[in-house]
Amino acid sequence: MTTATAEEAKTGAKLSQLDQLKKFTIVVADTGDFETIKEFKPRDATTNPSLIYAATQKEQYFHLLDEVLTNRKNSGLSGAAQIEDIIDHLLVKFGSEILEIVPGRVSTETDARLSFDTEASINKARSLIKLYAEKGIDRERILIKIASTWEGLLAAEQLQKEGIRCNLTLMFSLVQAIRAAEAGVQLISPFVGRIYDWYKKEMKRDYAGPEDPGVQSVTEIYSYYKKFGITTEVMGASFRNTGQIRELAGCDCLTISPELMKELSESTDPIERKLDPAKATSEKIEKMKFNQKSFLYALNDNAMAYEKTGEGIRKFAADIVKLEKFVAGKL
């Protein structure tokens, strides 16, 4: 029996898997497409330069870029500084429009090329929050996405002290999650699909259900957090299929692509809650603590996490370069 039963009895209709999931997990849209967000009604949304670039290629969003270009053409900046300024305003423009649709929060990403520069990451986050404030948007509705490097975690720790909430992205291991908890970050985004991809390639086999390494990683982090009363939110991300999502039903948040939200919305098969704080607190888990040396060694010792963190930063950096070239071509 699912938690949706009482509501089904009232309406006489079976709830979709997406609506069932919303009963015990915050559903977050992983897209920059407004129409998708309106259709599936998530509470929050996440964006990144790749998603914003994809959105700017659609005719219905041309006007947003044109508006930013018009407003910033007399900024007094030129060259790389001008392009950076336009992209920051574009990211905030999309984020602001999304916040007109969702009742909760939007995640806006810092430049991945700053992943090993603590001071620059802090300054970029402050700049983005300032742009949101100029639009009258409360900082509590914004999550600043930063890569889960040692330097990124230090930046997030300082930003959280300033009341700027952070979403630690490109997370592939418990060591990164534990350091994020120590830093007091608002939310983490462990990447299910990319972990799955690595093991599938390395082990030359497929995975499904609870044996999926990506599912196991998020379950491990979730259990650790609940066991020790850590309030940082766990948001599973980067899904390859709805089976992974169903296995993590009950996680604090799950950020889901439009394609997978559509698939969930078209099925009424029952969803069972798999992650539960009550179960997690009864597990035998040892508490760990990391300084810089032990963190870097533990991350290096985990081949999958080390490789996927580096690869993710390179891919996100390439996405921002692609967006820069697109903006430069419009100037």
User: Could you give the CA distance from residue 160 to residue 225 in angstroms, rounded to a whole number?
Assistant: 18
Degrees, nearest 5: CA angle 290-293-297? 90
pLDDT at 104 over 50: yes
pLDDT at 124 over 60: yes
Quick one: pLDDT at residue 290?
95
Determine the residue type at 237: A
Quick one: pLDDT at residue 7?
53
Determine the residue type at 131: L
Read off the tokens for 235. Answer: 């948001």
pLDDT at 242 over 70: yes
Read off the tokens for 283. Answer: 């597990």
pLDDT at 6 over 80: no
pTM above 0.75, yes or no: yes
CA dihedral 148, 260, 103, 247 (to 10 degrees): -70
Cα–Cα separations (whole angstroms), residue 279 to 27, 111, 247: 22, 38, 15
Q: Specify the residue for token string 């940082």.
A: 232
Question: Which residues are annotated as catalytic?
Answer: 145
User: Could you give the CA distance from residue 149 to residue 120 in angstroms, rounded to a whole number?
Assistant: 14
Percent of the chain with pLDDT over 70: 96
Radius of gyration of the chain (CA): 20
3-state SS class at 287: coil
Quick one: pLDDT at residue 311?
98
Read off the tokens for 328. Answer: 């430069």
- Residue 20 has a CB neighbour count (10 Å cut-off) of 27
For residue 144, the surrounding DSSP H or E stretch is: strand 142-147
3-state SS class at 256: strand
3-state SS class at 194: helix
Quick one: pLDDT at residue 8?
54
Read off the tokens for 77. Answer: 């900046």
Mean pLDDT, the chain, rounded, equals 94
The number of helix segments (H) and strand segments (E) in the chain equals 16, 8
For residue 146, the surrounding DSSP H or E stretch is: strand 142-147
98 band by pLDDT with thresholds 50, 70 and 90: very high
User: Could you give the CA distance from residue 165 to residue 178 in angstroms, rounded to a whole number?
Assistant: 17
User: Could you give the CA distance from residue 156 to residue 154 in angstroms, rounded to a whole number?
Assistant: 5
pLDDT per position as a tens digit, 132-167: 999 999 999 999 999 999 999 999 999 999 999 999
Determine the residue type at 269: D
Q: What is the DSSP track for 85-114?
A: HHHHHHHHHHHHHHHTT-SS-EEEEPPGGG
The dotted CATH code for 13-330 is 3.20.20.70
User: Could you give the CA distance from residue 290 to residue 298 in angstroms, rounded to a whole number?
Assistant: 9
Determine the residue type at 8: E
Give the least confident one: 23-37, 66-80, 201-215, 280-294. 280-294
Quick one: pLDDT at residue 331?
86
Quick one: pLDDT at residue 178?
98
User: Could you give the CA distance from residue 76 to residue 227 in angstroms, rounded to a whole number?
Assistant: 53
Determine the residue type at 275: L
User: Could you give the CA distance from residue 12 to residue 254 in angstroms, rounded to a whole number?
Assistant: 28
Read off the tokens for 173. Answer: 């291991």
Quick one: pLDDT at residue 268?
97
Answer left, alpha or beta for residue 12, where phi above 0 means left and psi between -120 and 50 means alpha. left
Determine the residue type at 295: F
User: Could you give the CA distance from residue 262 to residue 17 in angstroms, rounded to a whole number?
Assistant: 10
Read off the tokens for 277. Answer: 């704080």
For the chain, the domains span: 13-330
